[in-house]
Amino acid sequence: MEKTLVLLKPSCVQRQLIGEILNRFERRGLRIAGLKMMQLDDAILREHYSHLADKPFFPTLAASMQVSPVVALALEGIDAVQVVRTMTGATNGRAAAPGTIRGDYSVSNQQNIVHASDSPENAAIELKRFFRPEEIFEYTSGAREYIYGADEC
């Protein structure tokens, strides 16, 4: 089973959409392996958004991520990275397809509700960035045999 990192950004927390977005991941059948609220500091944001450090919008992006705590999620499932990225939708909420989280809850390129890891390699790095090993739980979901076929896992 694969794990991926999701952050419910301050744009989600401030708009009181935590429960609604969590519900989408649970309903889809993803297992919540880790869940916590965190106030992000400059250092973790510089690392997390290092691929955007030279962009003119980096300062406003970093500020927008510190307005309130975020909710960090470790989600598990078969192909979880791709499943969650597809649920997340395009970066710009105005371009994101209806039915995706960003397409249903955002109309902004920056205030786009969620972060989701974009590859299994980055998911492994990002999970370590936001969770200590003991904060990731390996319990078995009681619904697992109804979420996946017997030959899938």
Distance CA 153, CA 151 (A): 6
Position among 104, 118, 120, 148 found at the interface with ligand IDP (CB under 6 A): 118
Nearer to Mg ion (CB atom), residue 2 or residue 118: 118
CA distances from 31 to 10, 22, 27, 59 (A): 23, 11, 10, 34
Nearer to Mg ion (CB atom), residue 49 or residue 148: 49
85 is in an annotated binding site: yes
Answer whether 14's CB lies under 8 Å from 67's CB: yes
122 is in an annotated binding site: no
Residue 20 touches ligand IDP, criterion: CB under 6 A: no
Nearer to ligand IDP (CB atom), residue 121 or residue 145: 121
102 is in an annotated binding site: yes
Instruction: Label residues 25-44 b or e (16+ Cβ within 10 Å = b).
Output: beeeebbbbbbeeeebeeee
Distance CA 4, CA 27 (A): 17
Measured from each CB, the residue nearest to Mg ion is 118
Catalytic residue at 115? yes
Among ligand IDP, Mg ion, none, residue 20 binds (CB under 5-8 Å by kind): none
The residues in 102-121 that bind Mg ion, with binding defined as CB under 5 A, are: 118
Amino acid at 42: D
Residue 80 structure tokens = 């979880």
Residue 110 touches ligand IDP, criterion: CB under 6 A: yes
Tell me the CB-side half-sphere exposure of residue 44, using CA atoms within 13 A.
16
Determine which one of 87, 101, 115, 117 is catalytic. 115
Active site residues: 115
Per the annotation, binding residues are 9, 57, 85, 91, 102, 112
Point out which residues bind Mg ion (CB under 5 A). 118
